[in-house]
């Protein structure tokens, strides 16, 4: 039987349907508050949310070119966040509003993990950063999950006057999903 990350296709799509359409809740337009409320009500887990976003990236990124790479540890980090949330419920410990929320950081923001930090350029592919950028360290401390690296104009549009906005060698021409098509 076909499966997605250990779930039967029926289970997977049942959850996707539930989290994308139940009670007017749209995961694509959900705020962090909406997501935290769904976590609290046991309608959604961080793992389900990360898997949903990874699937959306897999489907839409070939056209939109908005994500340069995804964090191979994102699902494991989501599972850890779910365990922490369960323990916090049992002990009454308050978690950050960003706890268990997956985010993308631009590819010019250093992250000390398995992700590259290249500013959209092949010249920096494989380089190793010494530590997380301050913003990434604070996001991790708050419990956010670094889902991957978002595309950007190569070198943050610093080194070129002629390249179109949103273009990088690594990602190609990025497109805005709200204005595309």
> Residue 2: enclosing H or E segment and its boundaries?
none
| High-pLDDT (> 70) share of the chain, % | 84
Q: What is the CATH number of the domain that holds 38?
A: 3.90.1300.10
Among the listed residues 57, 67, 55, the one whose alpha carbon sits nearest the alpha carbon of residue 174? 67
Q: What is the residue range of 97's domain? A: 8-173
pLDDT band of residue 20 (cuts 50, 70, 90) is low
Q: Is position 180 within any domain? A: no
If one counts the domains in the chain, the total is 1
Is residue 82 very low, low, confident or very high in pLDDT (cuts 50, 70, 90)? very high
2: in domain: no
Task: Summarize the confidence of residues 161-179 as an average pLDDT.
Answer: 86
pLDDT digits (tens, 9 = 90+) for 93-120: 999 999 999 999 999 999 999 999 999 9
* pTM score of the predicted model: 0.84
Is 3 a member of any domain? no
Q: How many CB atoms lie within 10 A of CB 54?
A: 20
């Amino acid at each position: 039987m076909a499966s997605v990350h250990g779930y039967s296709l029926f289970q997977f799509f049942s959850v996707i349907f539930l989290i994308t359409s139940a009670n007017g809740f749209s995961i694509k337009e959900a705020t962090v508050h909406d997501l935290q409320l769904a976590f609290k009500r046991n309608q959604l887990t961080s793992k389900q949310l990360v898997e949903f976003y990874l699937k959306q990236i897999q489907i839409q990124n070939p056209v939109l070119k908005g994500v340069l790479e995804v964090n191979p540890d994102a699902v494991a980090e989501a599972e850890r966040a779910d365990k922490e949330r369960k323990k916090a419920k049992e002990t009454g410990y308050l978690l950050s509003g960003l706890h268990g929320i997956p985010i993308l950081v631009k590819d010019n923001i250093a992250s000390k993990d398995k992700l590259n930090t290249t500013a959209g350029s092949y010249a920096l592919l494989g380089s190793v950063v010494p530590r997380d950028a301050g913003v990434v360290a604070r996001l991790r401390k708050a419990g956010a999950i670094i889902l991957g690296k978002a595309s950007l104009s190569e070198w943050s549009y610093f080194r070129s006057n002629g390249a179109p906005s949103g273009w990088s060698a690594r990602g190609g021409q990025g497109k805005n999903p709200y204005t595309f098509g």
